[in-house]
Structure 1
Amino acid sequence: MRRLLTVLAAAVPLVTAAVYLPSAAAEPENSASTTFRCTSASIPLNAPAGTKIESLTAVSRPTGSVEVPPVSPLPGATIPDVPAHCEVTVTVGHPGAGDHAKVQVWLPESGWNGRFQAVGGSAFAAGDYGSALAGAVRNGYAVATTDAGVSSYLDVSWALDNKGKINKTSLENFASRSEHEAAVVAKQVANGVYGRSASYSYFNGCSTGGRQGYAEAQNYPGDYDGILADAPGIYWDEFEVATVWPQVVMNEEQTYPTKCELTLATQSAVKACDKLDGAADGIIGDPATCDYDPRRLIGTTLECEGKQVTFTAADAAVVRKIWDGPRSTSGKKLWYGPTVGADLTALADSKTGDDGTSVGAPFLVPAEWVSTFVKKQPAYDVSTAGYSEFQKLFRQSQAEFDDVIGSDDPDLSGFRESGGKLLTWHGQADQLIPTQGTVDYRERVEKKLGGAQRVDGFYRLFLAPGVNHCAGLGNTGPAPTDALGTLTKWVEQGKAPQTLSASVKDASGKTVTRDLCLYPRVPQYKGNGDLADASSFRCVRPHH
């Protein structure tokens, strides 16, 4: 549970951080005078197609702190200095379906920048619980989120009906429908409160939120002018099953490397491949060029939690299979493994009993997906699956869920024609969602829509070396500092980004800056200059 808290706590605040950072983009041209009416009567709503409005409330909140409630497994938080704002809550349902999705819209009383922003969710939570909402209000946005009528980060009690079958209404809401309906509702709310429409609309999300952003671009291309969708959980039906692969490997091979050994393998790979970009800075600039073999560690002894541990040939075999990624029983590659250099301890976690016997300890998000959605047996233990069972689970997840939650349709022509802009960054050390899946999608879009140049006109991808899932805790590489501001400039001023500004503080507290490269380019050290300064690097074509 402690590791789960660390990973989720690292991922969830990312959206907040991205919103908190001030945007350098200019004010919209027509963000002049507005009225401000925080009353239910001032907000006439037309229900989105196929829905009914069940309730609407509007409450004025004074300037002060916002208390974010504890939502398992994360603790609560206090967000200070939130400006006075109107909190509007709308409940939306589908007649006869028995669902109730809550849409929250927060609107600053003064200083509205004329923009609307929606914020996405994380894990099995469809939306935000207050942190990102408060951050956006502090930056002058009218902001919205939806709970899609489902539960929290890890509660999937909504997934199955009383007959043990998939609750299709709730799954469709979580997958994409509620996000679209929230956009329709929230824009009307802003119009009612301010007496005019928002000049521009943006979506901002990472992980589950990133997947929601892609679903919006694919299914509802007119909802947003700009979509910031980071570390996106696209190919949901594949990657969620794929990320239990480390547990399957350890179970099948009956070998459970300790956290110390997994960390040793990761650190050794980083050390071996560090200089491939010309810079000895503790970061693999282009992990695709790293061919480190963990068999080089066989026989290495290390101190681990007070015990002497020896890295064995069996440990090396497990690490190699995890990096390689899931394969069928015939050897066909099914999906991507974690990037070399990503932390393996979240997905390849295990625990050892008093008798010395080790068993797998799966990361709960993919474990819940496999047990509850795919197997429809919430008590199923994914750590007991072997290679044959894994292959069945993977194929079943694809067959049952790709259409509803895959969020991987490469036809973005509707979004392109609507004038929308899609900006994505993904950490090259993402330990939870394989980075290569995002690259795979981008390349499929290029094939579908006529090549890289045509796609770059509305969709740009940036990879962040050394950055983990949603730029959570423990990054070694610089993470984007104001991707939302960059997207805003692209949408409103036509300034398409060639690089994405990023920074991180190193172990000594010094700020390290980089300019993330537009895919497919990768960073290369110029051969001289401060390794902590972005100007010492250039973006070049990959060498693989």
Structure 2
Amino acid sequence: MKLWTPTAVVFLVTVLLGAPVAAQEDPAARCEAFSNFGMDAAYVTSTKIVEAAETLPAYCEIRATALPAISIEARLPLEDWNGKFYQAGCGGWCGILGRGDDSGRWVNAMKEGLERGYATATSDSGHHGLSVVDGAWAEENTHAERDWGWRSIGETYRVAQILIEEFYGNAHEKAVFQGCSTGGRMAHMASLRYPDHFQGIISGAPAMNETGLAGVALAWMAKANTGPDGQPILGPGKDGLIGDEVMRQCDGLDGTEDGLISDPRQCVPDVSTLLCQDGQDSAQCLSEAEIGVVTKWYQAPVNAAGEELYPGGVPAGSEPFWWLWLTGNTEGAVPLNPLFAQSFGAYLAFEQDPGEDWKATDFDFESDISRMTKAAAMFNAHSPDISEFRAAGGKMIVWHGWADAIVTPGQTVDWHKKAQQEAGGADALAENVRLFMIPGMDHCGLLPGPDGVAMESIDPLTALERWMDDGITPETIIRAN
């Protein structure tokens, strides 16, 4: 009887099954081999080599689907992998795979990790949407809501780890999660549901209390600006007028007049100073109804008993960005806050979806909060108890613009204060979590603020890497010139 040698056995297995991906020396061949690669509860849909361009190295792009419908994209450097993994979140209701990288900027994108040699991945969070404000995918679809809420975070990580180990022949050494807005909520969710997955987390402008934000606060803003005829009371064109007056009242409260409101909690704007007088050009003043709108925006939402329902209101100093979020502009841009409020209530907030006919002005501040219990369990990530993440040695950088008019900063400050108490004090929490509040910055730094402050002004990844790798606690995330 003839005995099979190990070499012969390997040859036979290779002929019958194909060589393991990591065993093939040519990176392009390794990438192409994934076209027939199978995984538990997931499958590869496409592969391609993307050549090096500008600041990005050549990489293998692998697209996969984790059941039932989470679309995932991994980008694996063909050379000089640093042995680490970088996962990016997504914004709004997500639904558009790779949108962050399509923007060319770093928030909710794989770009910055890939530039530094990380293997990277992101997802569409489990559904396809026509835009990031399109919530119709969630209508009577608990599975998709669950995936958007938390499951896509873990499934993207799981699939990416399989691909990484198969491509490189070994697993990653450390992992980082980065996201802003919904991506920031996902970052906090990762610390709660997957506390040992990521050794570093970057959370920007986190929409961590989704039912409180989209369900209550955004509905409050929409309702405040809706007249009896159903039309907006405060339209575009007066944000500059209001912003100038608020800056006049509040700029010097921090001791320096520099065109910035360093901490809007110190500022309680009184826009009644802008009340129109007889014969005054209405474009240069505010009606009583408009003053009522702005006054409510600056306040935290409350119920009939005056109880605060969500921490803080629209921050003073955010007026330069109101055209995008609250009022629209004279060129026809539609404000986004009311759209998010409407789609959340219509499709995500309640167990029985009211559908497209529901309006944000229909939200009942007395009875509808209790109807969002199921949504809160799936979506909310504002628990201050991150003890498991801290016990695992994780490091988290949280950053938020003080001039954020959609994910208003009050919730982030409130979370950080409660997390300090939960951890046993500010010093104890600071061993694992650092919060950076940035004066004058818009939501996720999307629009440039005073002196051009935007997402490109900060570099949280370098600060996080030094903290994780060298034990240097970050004192700033402002990008070095």
**TM-score bucket of the superposed structures, by smaller chain:** 0.7 to 0.9
Question: For residues 61-117 of structure 1, what are the alpha-carbon distances to aligned partners after superposition, in whole Å with 9 as ceiling and x for unaligned?
Answer: 3334xxxxxxxxxxxxxxx56432111222211xxxxx2212211011123233210
Give 1:135 deviation, angstroms: 4.8
Q: Residues 93-492 of structure 1 correspond to what in structure 2 (within 5 A)?
A: 93=67, 99-125=68-94, 128-129=98-99, 130-131=101-102, 132-152=109-129, 153-161=132-140, 167-241=141-215, 242-251=217-226, 256-299=233-276, 308-335=283-310, 336-343=312-319, 344-349=322-327, 363-374=338-349, 376-382=353-359, 384-385=361-362, 389-397=364-372, 399-476=373-450, 478-479=453-454, 480-492=457-469
Q: Are the aligned partners of 1:421 and 1:459 in contact in 2 as well (CA < 8 Å)?
A: yes
Letter in 2 for 1:490: W
Give 1:481 deviation, angstroms: 2.3
Q: Name the CA distance, whole Å, in 1 between partners of 2:380 and 2:220.
A: 19
Give the 3-state SS of the residue equivalent to 1:59 in structure 2. strand
Q: Are the aligned partners of 1:203 and 1:227 in contact in 2 as well (CA < 8 Å)?
A: yes
Give 1:122 deviation, angstroms: 0.5
Letter in 2 for 1:142: A
Q: Name the CA distance, whole Å, in 1 between partners of 2:48 and 2:284.
A: 59
Q: Name the CA distance, whole Å, in 2 between partners of 1:400 and 1:140.
A: 40
Q: Name the CA distance, whole Å, in 2 between partners of 1:171 and 1:282.
A: 42
Q: What 5-or-longer segments of structure 1 have no aligned partner?
A: 1-33, 65-79, 94-98, 162-166, 353-358, 504-512, 514-544
Q: Are the aligned partners of 1:256 and 1:350 in contact in 2 as well (CA < 8 Å)?
A: no
Q: Name the CA distance, whole Å, in 1 between partners of 2:318 and 2:369.
A: 23
Letter in 1 for 2:50: R
Give the 3-state SS of the residue equivalent to 2:94 in structure 1. coil
Q: Are the aligned partners of 1:35 and 1:195 in contact in 2 as well (CA < 8 Å)?
A: no
Q: Name the CA distance, whole Å, in 2 between partners of 1:408 and 1:207.
A: 13
Aligned to 1:38: 31
Q: Name the CA distance, whole Å, in 1 between partners of 2:116 and 2:287.
A: 53
Cα–Cα, structure 1 residues 86 and 41, in superposed 2: closer, same or farther, change >3 Å? closer
Give 1:274 deviation, angstroms: 1.0
Q: Name the CA distance, whole Å, in 2 between partners of 1:138 and 1:283.
A: 33
Fraction of identical pairs, as percent = 26
Give 1:303 deviation, angstroms: 9.6
Q: Name the CA distance, whole Å, in 1 between partners of 2:437 and 2:402.
A: 6
Aligned to 2:471: 494
Letter in 1 for 2:135: V
Q: Are the aligned partners of 1:351 and 1:361 in contact in 2 as well (CA < 8 Å)?
A: no
Give 1:141 deviation, angstroms: 2.0
Q: Name the CA distance, whole Å, in 2 between partners of 1:85 and 1:216.
A: 26
Q: Are the aligned partners of 1:325 and 1:337 in contact in 2 as well (CA < 8 Å)?
A: yes
Cα–Cα, structure 1 residues 488 and 325, in superposed 2: closer, same or farther, change >3 Å? same
Cα–Cα, structure 1 residues 41 and 345, in superposed 2: closer, same or farther, change >3 Å? closer
* Comparing 119-128 and 474-483, the one that deviates more: 474-483
Question: For residues 408-446 of structure 1, what are the alpha-carbon distances to aligned partners after superposition, in whole Å with 9 as ceiling and x for unaligned?
Answer: 222101100111111011000001101011111111212
Question: For residues 162-198 of structure 1, what are the alpha-carbon distances to aligned partners after superposition, in whole Å with 9 as ceiling and x for unaligned?
Answer: xxxxx22111111111111111221221222122222
TM-score (norm: length of structure 1)? 0.73
Q: Name the CA distance, whole Å, in 1 between partners of 2:127 and 2:385.
A: 29
Q: Name the CA distance, whole Å, in 2 between partners of 1:360 and 1:429.
A: 16
Give 1:309 deviation, angstroms: 4.9
Give 1:54 deviation, angstroms: 3.4
Q: Residues 3-14 of structure 1 correspond to what in structure 2 (within 5 A)?
A: none
Give the 3-state SS of the residue equivalent to 1:88 in structure 2. strand
Q: What 5-or-longer segments of structure 2 have no aligned partner?
A: 1-24, 103-108
Letter in 1 for 2:169: G
Letter in 2 for 1:156: G
Letter in 1 for 2:75: W
Letter in 1 for 2:327: D
* Comparing 239-248 and 426-435, the one that deviates more: 239-248
Cα–Cα, structure 1 residues 499 and 138, in superposed 2: closer, same or farther, change >3 Å? closer
Q: Name the CA distance, whole Å, in 2 between partners of 1:202 and 1:494.
A: 16
Give 1:301 deviation, angstroms: 9.3
Q: Name the CA distance, whole Å, in 1 between partners of 2:94 and 2:413.
A: 25
Give the 3-state SS of the residue equivalent to 1:103 in structure 2. strand
Q: Are the aligned partners of 2:400 and 2:438 in contact in 1 as well (CA < 8 Å)?
A: yes
Q: Name the CA distance, whole Å, in 2 between partners of 1:361 and 1:223.
A: 33
Give 1:499 deviation, angstroms: 2.5
Letter in 1 for 2:127: V
TM-score (norm: length of structure 2)? 0.82
Give the 3-state SS of the residue equivalent to 1:125 in structure 2. coil
Aligned to 1:530: none
Question: For residues 477-508 of structure 1, what are the alpha-carbon distances to aligned partners after superposition, in whole Å with 9 as ceiling and x for unaligned?
Answer: 635421111111111111111223258xxxxx
Cα–Cα, structure 1 residues 263 and 333, in superposed 2: closer, same or farther, change >3 Å? farther
Letter in 1 for 2:316: V
Q: Are the aligned partners of 2:34 and 2:44 in contact in 1 as well (CA < 8 Å)?
A: no
* Comparing 178-187 and 255-264, the one that deviates more: 255-264
Question: For residues 366-416 of structure 1, what are the alpha-carbon distances to aligned partners after superposition, in whole Å with 9 as ceiling and x for unaligned?
Answer: 221012223623323535437xx344334423x231111011222101100
Q: Name the CA distance, whole Å, in 2 between partners of 1:287 and 1:269.
A: 10
Q: Name the CA distance, whole Å, in 1 between partners of 2:362 and 2:326.
A: 14
Q: Name the CA distance, whole Å, in 1 between partners of 2:35 and 2:444.
A: 38
CA root-mean-square deviation = 3.0
Q: Name the CA distance, whole Å, in 1 between partners of 2:277 and 2:458.
A: 39
